[in-house]
A and B are shown apart, each in its own frame.
Chain A
């Protein structure tokens, strides 16, 4: 069965600092991977996704993620965090042809001014 691990429950960074949120997945074949962001009281918004091809994926709001098959990872990065990036971030995985998107437990990002 597919699964996702986000080892960091909370992360605090200073505005302007770089950010990396970790995501490890478990899936037997090539997975389809997603990062979503959830602001308080809101639904989930897609930041980026990986299906195939270039392992470095660019998303909205200046985010990027890199798929590393050897490490079963899909970490999310941003070179310079803005106060408005404070939110909860979810990594998710689905197997090719499947429809059951499995989410990690989320990482709550706090940005210090």
Chain B
């Protein structure tokens, strides 16, 4: 079975440019999560969706970040405009039904490695 698929795997962009990260969750999973990993802050939950609806976006760092889930098989995380401090690995993850708090495992993609210069 295909796991969580993220694209691009690596991106280098200039400060001020728009960045769009994409995610295809595992088929049949109802919950989708976006995490960011940095050396300074570790793994942080940015936002999660349940049944395509954003449930908690309190981790989104600022208005430059936005996330959408137009259907059950696709989500995007957009940064506009990008800044050097946004350089990080962005992970998308998905989980069956209601997520880890209901006894389900979160499955992670391989990450999108973003460098903003």
Interface residues of A (CB under 8 A from B): 32, 34, 36, 41-46, 49, 51, 90, 94-106
* Known A43-B110, A99-B31, A99-B50: A34·B100 in contact at CB below 8 Å: yes
Q: Which residues of A contact B103 (CB under 8 A)?
A: 32, 51
Instruction: Choose among A44, A45, A95, A103 the residue that contacts B101 (Cβ–Cβ < 8 A).
Output: A95
Q: Is B43 an interface residue (CB 8 A)?
A: yes
Tell me the minimal C-beta distance from B10 to chain A in angstroms.
Answer: 10
Knowing A43-B91, A94-B101, A95-B101, the reply to whether A103 touches B43 (Cβ < 8 A) is yes
Binding site for A on B (CB under 8 A): 4, 31, 33, 42-43, 45, 48, 50, 55-56, 91, 93, 95, 98-103, 105-111
Chain A residues contacting B31 (CB-CB under 8 Å) are 99
B110 and A99 within 8 A (CB): no
* 8 closest residue pairs by CB, A with B: A99-B99, A98-B101, A43-B108, A103-B43, A44-B108, A43-B110, A94-B100, A97-B101
Q: In the bound complex, do residue B110 and residue A97 qualify as a contact, i.e. CB atoms below 8 Å apart?
A: no
Partner of B48 from the list A34, A45, A95, A99 (CB cut-off 8 Å) is A99
* Among B33, B55, B102: residue with most chain A CB under 10 A: B102
Known contacts A32-B101, A97-B102, A98-B101: does B42 contact A43 (CB below 8 Å)? no
Q: Please give, as numbers and ranges, the residues of chain B lying within 8 Å of A42 by CB-CB distance.
A: 110-111
Instruction: State how many angstroms separate the Cβ of A61 from the closest Cβ of chain B.
Output: 16
Q: Which residue of B lies closest to A42 (CB)?
A: B110
Q: List, in ascending order, chain B residues with CB within 8 A of A98's CB.
A: 100-101
* A-B contact list, 20 entries, CB within 8 Å: A32-B101, A34-B100, A34-B105, A36-B108, A41-B110, A42-B111, A44-B91, A44-B108, A46-B106, A49-B105, A95-B101, A97-B101, A99-B33, A99-B48, A99-B99, A99-B101, A100-B45, A100-B48, A101-B33, A106-B42
Task: Kindly name the residue among B91, B93, B98, B99 whose own CB sees the greatest number of chain A CB atoms within 10 A.
Answer: B99
B100 and A101 form a contact (CB under 8 A): yes
In the bound assembly, the distance between CA atoms of A18 and B99 in angstroms comes to 33
How many Å lie between the Cα of A43 and that of B105 in the bound state? Answer: 14
